[in-house]
Structure 1
Amino acid sequence: MDPAMRHIWKRVFYRLHRTLIFPKRNNSGHAEHTAFPASSHSKCIKPTLLVSRLYQPSNLRDVGQDSRLAGEMTCKSQRLMQQAGLIHPSNPGCYYYLPATVRSMEKLVRVIDKEMQGIGGQKLDMPSLCSADLWKTSERWDLMGKELFRLKDRHGADYCLGPTHEEAVTTLVAHQTTLSYRQLPLLLYQITRKFRDEPKPKFGLLRGREFYMKDMYSFDVSEEAAYQTYESVCQAYNRFFARLGLRCVQVQADTGNIGGTVSHEFQLPADIGEDRLLICENCSFSANVETLSSNRTDCPQCKTGTVVESKGIEVGHTFYLGKKYSHMFKATFNNSQNKPTIAEMGCYGLGVTRILAAAIEVMSTEEGIRWPGLIAPYQVCVLPPKKGSKVDEASVVAEELVNTLGETLPSLRGEVVLDDRTQMTIGKRLKDASRLGYPYVIVVGQAALEETPKYEVICQQTDETMFLSKDGLLDLLGRVETV
């Protein structure tokens, strides 16, 4: 076929393809969905993910330039997440989690599940509504003070909304009177909403009144075995943060109202952090300032290193509880002599929503979100050219690329979105993509129409821009780790 005829057929194919892929828009800019032809096969076709259809603002507010809004945004992660339509305030300390945030949280939960189940954790779900009788037995009903959300049912019975579940899980295990030493260690965990009546909720998801947490509880045959379990959980936490690409410091901590004899916090160093940390420059020693004298400059571990103060965001906490709760609630197992024996316990928490916000806080720029790659809501955003531009026909190539990525790279199925808002310039959509933090943004322009097509690929985590062939692009994205 001569070049002229090839060009004519290319234009015909482009116009037909564009009618099917990009629906006409009404005066408000919304898609007229009747532009998609009905088909008996339509239920079998998985639609392309279109930015215009995502329940998320398409025109991101620059709250940093609005003095009233900026005054409400007390940290970077809160400003960026509200600006990007990831969260929306409901009432003090409570937020709507919008679809992109839920996608990210679900991925985060899958990473947590893998690490917890990798050390023998078994997932369950306990009631958020907890009887006051359990908390009175542990004497924490009064100890927790105003931080505990309390309520009465229609019969006048007292309850609380659980901020943590030591009482509940120990009662559960205590009811199993046939628990054998052969079944230990027993590690039970859940990922649920928690409630704490913060006096001054702030920093968005970093300090709220309602939040998601992973809490795990261990039951062991002896103190020695319990310490081994404790260490295995701490190692799993360190692997978990390493998988996310987050620099996390494990520090000695106070046991607080949870109780026990040993405790460690997992802290992300950050200027916005509310915890003060002391870290030795010479050895592995680190501690929350609560556990040491704040004016101490020498290291109690190596004796020679200098202790430097830093701020941190607490994203995890572990406790060796001993028999504090198991003795109260008579949580026993049958030992090798078939005698009832009190179990040794530990408890271990990860702030799921706090990790999400803290990761954005420490990784992002002032202008845009940068996600840990594993938990980005979507991995790739493809930008076709502006409608009516000289390279308008590259829109067909963009749609074909989206389909190719999903078909060729199974790990990216459901991870690639097409920014079909072609009434907007590439520059404007690039700015939105930067703010939303897609790890990879692919611009399909003139170079994609050449005999050897090239795609502009922007890696947002590294600020690197590359021009790749289709094979080079597939090779790059084929190495992307997903969960």
Structure 2
Amino acid sequence: MLLKNSARFSHRLSNIFQPVSVIPKDAEIKRQDITSKSQRLMLELGIIKQASPGCFHFLPLGVKALEKLTNLVDEEMKRIGGQKIIFPTLTNSKLWEISGRLETVSSELFKIKDRHDHGYILSPTHEEAASSLIASLSPISYKQLPLRLYQITNKYRDEIKPRFGLMRGKQFLMKDMYCFDVDTTAAKQNYDQICNSYDNIFKKIGIDFIKVLGSSGTMGGELSHEYHYKADIGEDKILTCPKCSYSANTEISGEKQCPKCGNQSIEISFGIEVGHTFLLGDKYSKPFKATYLSSNGKPEVLQMGSYGLGLSRILAAAVEVLSSEQEIRWPPSLAPYNVIILPPKRGSKEEQHLKDSNAVESLYARIEEISSLKNNVLIDDRIGLTIGKRFLDAKRNGYPYIIALGKKITQDPPLYEIVNLDKNEQLYLSENSLLDYIQTHASSSSSSGEASAISI
């Protein structure tokens, strides 16, 4: 039998928990509440499942995509000397009183009390916690600086109206980094380096993005940048000047003319914010008394920066930007699986032709030998279904490379059908040519994105 040894494969479609569903027009969940195609597709294709308004279960395919994004971020943070830590989810309310933010953003905070009537916050961000940690060790030596601490954890915000699925929820996964420097010059140099690192992350993801001047808002500080994916459902308005390439959120520069060169022929587009960086100065370090011991032996207040990436939002925004209304599309860097193999239907002449061979097992193993595709190959072992039906399913799920063992597999030499969704290309190749094709195309697209950046 064609898949007689398939039990040894960990990546078989029949083993994946993927509760696929279609939301009918008269569904209990009103379709008007599903306000983005990414939300609908991720729900229908069993990538996420709503638990309550603004909160979602991540199912296996969603987790696998999120792990790819997390690994990509971890690699880049380690490259620039970031040290990974985990702050407590519960932050003592007194810390937010010290910073003054307990009142200014009170309506967005989840506040709880323990049995001793002590107040806590389910943290939406950790500037206070980071400053408090460093202050408890102060003064640290200038030789320990710059200090770059980051985490990837769930955050919580009491959204008045959660919408767009993962893009605006009550619980979300965020990467946040807190950096401490000796003075404003060093802090600005650090800021520029980390912004460049964020540029690298978005280029590796592989979707065109735009970096703009942003508002510091309740975070405070003297400089702020936002990273956006352009999309019609974006909640931010972005001003771009084609004359001098200036870009900014209209919150800080209006919509009439370019504040840099005065050009009135500006472009206004909508963006989904997926990253935000802040040069905070001593806004948090000073009230918390977070200091360092300078080279002259005197304690000085630390300068601070905060750098956030909305990982669950990036995932949804990527799907939103790339997908059609009916079919999901992933950037290769985040696709749960990059290659799916479709064996012949049970009882077909193609299966009979291959019954004494290990064509599927051999192909699977050889593709997995490609370093960038290790753990990224899936077999659709539902051989009771036609290849055509499974192909449509694979296409709707957005697997970048679909390989079918169809009618031409009986030829001499046998030919495999491969469809490259990104290039909308269909080819019939021998096994060696197929492997060369995947090696060339899949490896390059999954290891280094081809995104372009528009920035100020």
Which category of TM-score, normalised to the shorter sequence, fits these structures? Answer: over 0.9
C-alpha displacement of 1:404 = 2.7
Per the alignment, residue 451 of structure 2 pairs with: none
Equivalent position to 1:476, from 424, 434, 437: 437
Per the alignment, residue 350 of structure 2 pairs with: 391
Per the alignment, residue 331 of structure 2 pairs with: 372
Q: Aligned equivalents of 1:359 and 1:465: distance in 2?
A: 24
Q: Aligned equivalents of 2:32 and 2:362: distance in 1?
A: 45
Residue 211 of structure 1 pairs with residue 197 of structure 2? no
Equivalent position to 2:414, from 433, 438, 453: 453
Residue 94 of structure 1 pairs with residue 55 of structure 2? yes
1:277-296 residue pairs with structure 2 within 5 A? 277-294=238-255, 296=256
- 1:52 corresponds to which letter in structure 2? S
**Contact map agreement 1:264 1:317 (CA 8 A) in 2:** yes
Q: Aligned equivalents of 2:362 and 2:25: distance in 1?
A: 39
C-alpha displacement of 1:72 = 3.2
Q: Aligned equivalents of 1:374 and 1:286: distance in 2?
A: 27
**Contact map agreement 2:154 2:171 (CA 8 A) in 1:** yes
Q: Aligned equivalents of 1:48 and 1:92: distance in 2?
A: 34
Gaps of 5+ in 1: 1-14, 22-35, 37-45
Q: Aligned equivalents of 1:404 and 1:119: distance in 2?
A: 35
C-alpha displacement of 1:438 = 0.9
Change in Cα spacing, 1:118 to 1:19, as seen in structure 2 (3 Å) is: closer
Q: Aligned equivalents of 1:230 and 1:48: distance in 2?
A: 43
**Contact map agreement 1:48 1:418 (CA 8 A) in 2:** no
Greater shift after overlay, 162-171 or 65-74?
65-74
C-alpha displacement of 1:146 = 1.5
C-alpha displacement of 1:424 = 1.2
Q: Aligned equivalents of 1:80 and 1:133: distance in 2?
A: 42
Per the alignment, residue 259 of structure 2 pairs with: 300
C-alpha displacement of 1:309 = 0.7
Greater shift after overlay, 369-378 or 87-96?
369-378
1:345-424 residue pairs with structure 2 within 5 A? 345-393=304-352, 394=354, 396-406=358-368, 408-424=369-385
**Contact map agreement 2:241 2:263 (CA 8 A) in 1:** no
**Contact map agreement 1:399 1:418 (CA 8 A) in 2:** no
- 1:213 corresponds to which letter in structure 2? M
C-alpha displacement of 1:387 = 1.3
Per the alignment, residue 47 of structure 1 pairs with: 9
Per the alignment, residue 273 of structure 1 pairs with: 234
C-alpha displacement of 1:19 = 4.0
Per the alignment, residue 109 of structure 1 pairs with: 70
Q: Aligned equivalents of 1:324 and 1:404: distance in 2?
A: 55
1:142-221 residue pairs with structure 2 within 5 A? 142-221=103-182
Greater shift after overlay, 115-124 or 339-348?
115-124
1:243-258 residue pairs with structure 2 within 5 A? 243-258=204-219
C-alpha displacement of 1:67 = 6.6
Q: Aligned equivalents of 1:413 and 1:392: distance in 2?
A: 26
Greater shift after overlay, 151-160 or 410-419?
410-419
Residues 216-250 of structure 1 show CA distances to partners (whole Å, capped at 9, x for unaligned) of 11111111111111111111111111111111111
Q: Aligned equivalents of 1:457 and 1:308: distance in 2?
A: 41
- 1:156 corresponds to which letter in structure 2? D
Q: 3-state DSSP class of the match of 2:399? A: coil
- 1:338 corresponds to which letter in structure 2? G
Q: Aligned equivalents of 1:403 and 1:344: distance in 2?
A: 52
Change in Cα spacing, 1:426 to 1:70, as seen in structure 2 (3 Å) is: farther
Residues 110-133 of structure 1 show CA distances to partners (whole Å, capped at 9, x for unaligned) of 111122222221111000001011
Equivalenced residues, count: 440
**Contact map agreement 1:104 1:377 (CA 8 A) in 2:** yes
**Contact map agreement 2:48 2:57 (CA 8 A) in 1:** yes
Q: Aligned equivalents of 1:389 and 1:120: distance in 2?
A: 56
Q: Aligned equivalents of 2:325 and 2:105: distance in 1?
A: 37
* TM norm structure 2: 0.93
Residue 227 of structure 1 pairs with residue 188 of structure 2? yes
Residues 250-307 of structure 1 show CA distances to partners (whole Å, capped at 9, x for unaligned) of 111111111111111111110010111111112221111110223x1x3222334621
Residues 96-120 of structure 1 show CA distances to partners (whole Å, capped at 9, x for unaligned) of 0001111111110111112222222
- 2:212 corresponds to which letter in structure 1? V
Equivalent position to 2:299, from 326, 340, 363: 340
Change in Cα spacing, 1:321 to 1:48, as seen in structure 2 (3 Å) is: closer
Q: 3-state DSSP class of the match of 1:265? A: strand
Q: Aligned equivalents of 2:389 and 2:61: distance in 1?
A: 20
Equivalent position to 2:21, from 52, 61, 65: 61
C-alpha displacement of 1:65 = 6.1
Q: 3-state DSSP class of the match of 2:350? A: coil
Residues 297-336 of structure 1 show CA distances to partners (whole Å, capped at 9, x for unaligned) of x322233462111000000001111011110101111111
C-alpha displacement of 1:48 = 4.4
C-alpha displacement of 1:158 = 0.5
Residues 203-228 of structure 1 show CA distances to partners (whole Å, capped at 9, x for unaligned) of 00000000100111111111111111
C-alpha displacement of 1:141 = 1.0
Equivalent position to 1:329, from 288, 291, 312: 288
**Contact map agreement 2:33 2:163 (CA 8 A) in 1:** no
Q: Aligned equivalents of 2:24 and 2:395: distance in 1?
A: 16
- 1:452 corresponds to which letter in structure 2? P
1:415-454 residue pairs with structure 2 within 5 A? 415-454=376-415
Q: Aligned equivalents of 2:389 and 2:23: distance in 1?
A: 17
Q: Aligned equivalents of 1:70 and 1:299: distance in 2?
A: 40
Gaps of 5+ in 2: 448-456
Residues 418-473 of structure 1 show CA distances to partners (whole Å, capped at 9, x for unaligned) of 11111112121111111211111101112223221211111112221111111111
Q: 3-state DSSP class of the match of 2:174? A: strand
